[in-house]
Amino acid sequence: MTASSATRPARERLLTAAGELFYESGIAATGVDAVLARAGVSPATMYAHFAGKDGLVAAYLEERHTTWRQTWDAVLAEHRDPVDRLLSVFDAVARFRQQQGTRRGCAFLAAATELPSGHPGQRWLAADSRLLTGRLHDLAVAAGLPDPEAVASTLLLCYDGALSGYARAATTPGLPVDDPIGRARRLAADWLATRTG
Amino acid sequence: MTASSATRPARERLLTAAGELFYESGIAATGVDAVLARAGVSPATMYAHFAGKDGLVAAYLEERHTTWRQTWDAVLAEHRDPVDRLLSVFDAVARFRQQQGTRRGCAFLAAATELPSGHPGQRWLAADSRLLTGRLHDLAVAAGLPDPEAVASTLLLCYDGALSGYARAATTPGLPVDDPIGRARRLAADWLATRTG
DNA sequence: GTCTATACGGTGATAGAC
DNA sequence: GTCTATCACCGTATAGAC
């Protein structure tokens, strides 16, 4: 709190608090007050750094997008086999979730349902979709697979399905959730096997 | 339900308006005022029928859950082959979306990200998850498939992935979306084929 | 850059008449 | 049952001092 305020700038503390609260409780349901209280920052300071709540939301999504891309980059660098590189999206999101300590679903899909059209944060939802489809497409091409568009679409479908499983689990007590990401990876791998073989 | 009353009851008009606005614009982002204006109903009338906004939200989710289950029932009754019955969840959701004229993602997954814990509407999110996993499980048993829990989880993963595709498309202009439900159905069918053969 | 205090608007909810 | 009118609150944003 006071110690962290001496070490970390208000802007960073705001982004951290926003990331936690927006992700856990939802964007629309989280008031600016709650973010300010958690960050230990006054309203005026926030408005000196961000263009209102919308700007704070956009900055939160941008930071999350950047971190996610870097995590995927790191995992990608560990693999040389073309199919492993294609499937790395699942390993990367598993690592990302472990790093962030997240337990709910995809922050970008969640934001897609909450943000009104024209919101500055929309840009990062589109960036997430394009990063996923673009990379998966390119990796499919590199693997020499036919119809790389279909490969990207199918793997994205598995990816979204896995993350949606966590969203369901968070709101359905008792629902058995056994490693959706691992399940999605195996499903995608089996499907790829029928195309490479 | 019937046409006996001269004018459509206020309660029904409210549920219709709520269904359209909550689904299209999000629950938290939609004010009660907007629902009242679209339904042509006064505030007091709404509070005579529902226990506040939370009650209206819960009633909206309940109605959607009921309609969805009935649609699935109807599609299920058209098939006798065990695998077709298992895959009917995709045909049913395609028909449901056509009937409702929806273009966005899953209303229950969306609500899962928006509703705070303890909200009366949470019950219907859980009901949706349990309906899906329970039926898929039973249909897998009826089909004589091994590990019916895994079958249900994998098919639910495909189902959620397909609907998430529409959520992405709604917020990412230019993203190619070619029949996610059909893609999910084929993916699930291929995966089932490796288990039945 | 940061804080305290405050103004403003919108939203959920109620009272009372018809 | 339904409406008109109104209230009370909370969340967003700003003004001015340090």
Q: CB contact, 8 Å: A110 with chain B?
A: yes
CA distance linking residue A22 with residue A16, whole number of Å? 10
CA distance linking residue A5 with residue B164, whole number of Å? 39
| Residue that wins the pLDDT comparison between B119 and B7 | B119
Q: CB contact, 8 Å: A149 with chain B?
A: yes
Amino acid at B111: A
B107 located within any domain: yes
How high is the pLDDT of residue A176? 81
- pLDDT above 60: residue B1: no
8 Å CB contact between A60 and A22: yes
Nucleic strand C under 7 Å from the C-beta of B38: no
Residues A116 and A139 in one domain: yes
Residues A113 and A37 in one domain: no
For chain A, give the mean pLDDT. Answer: 94
Residues A90 and A71 in one domain: yes
How high is the pLDDT of residue A4? 47
Sign of CA dihedral A113, A118, A124, A126: positive
B113 located within any domain: yes
How high is the pLDDT of residue A1? 43
Q: Which domain holds residue A30?
A: 1-49
B18 located within any domain: no
Question: Of the candidates A115, A158, A175, which has its C-beta nearest B161's C-beta?
Answer: A158
By percentage, how much of chain A surpasses pLDDT 90? 88
Residues A65 and A4 in one domain: no
- A151 pLDDT band (50/70/90 cuts)? very high
B27 located within any domain: no
- A134 pLDDT band (50/70/90 cuts)? very high
- pLDDT above 50: residue B61: yes
Residues A23 and A102 in one domain: no
For chain B, give the mean pLDDT. Answer: 94
Q: What is the CATH number of the domain that holds A121?
A: 1.10.357.10
How many angstroms separate the most distant Cα atoms in chain A?
61
B82 located within any domain: yes
Count how many pairs of residues, chain A against chain B, have C-beta atoms within 8 Å: 163
Model pLDDT for residues A164-183, shown as the tens digit of each residue? 999 999 988 888 888 999 99
| C-beta atoms of B130 and A175 within 8 A | yes
- pLDDT above 80: residue A121: yes
CA of B4 to C1' of D5 (A): 33
How high is the pLDDT of residue B35? 97
DSSP B74-138: HHHTT--SHHHHHHHHHHHHHHHHHHHT--SS-HHHHHHHHSPTT-TTHHHHHHHHHHHHHHHHH
Q: Name the residue in chain B with its Cα closest to that of A27.
A: B114
B42 located within any domain: no
* Minimum CA–C1' distance nucleotide for B45: D2
Count of domains for chain A = 2
| C-beta atoms of B129 and A153 within 8 A | no
Nucleotide C16: nearest residue by CA–C1'?
A: B44
Closest CA to A87 of A193, A188, A190, A195: A188
H or E element that contains A117: none
Least confident span in A5-9, A161-165, B130-134, B189-193? A5-9
CA distance linking residue B154 with residue A89, whole number of Å? 18
What mean pLDDT comes out for the span A144-168?
Answer: 97
**Chosen domain end from A10, A26, A49:** A49
B40 located within any domain: no
Model pLDDT for residues A42-95, shown as the tens digit of each residue? 999 999 999 999 999 999 999 999 999 999 999 999 999 999 999 999 999 999
8 Å CB contact between A111 and B167: no
Neighbours of B48 (CB within 10 A): 11
List the 8-47 stretch of A: residues with Cβ below 8 A of B.
Answer: 25-26, 28-29
- pLDDT above 90: residue A28: yes
Residues A93 and A176 in one domain: yes
What mean pLDDT comes out for the span A114-122?
Answer: 94
How high is the pLDDT of residue A126? 96
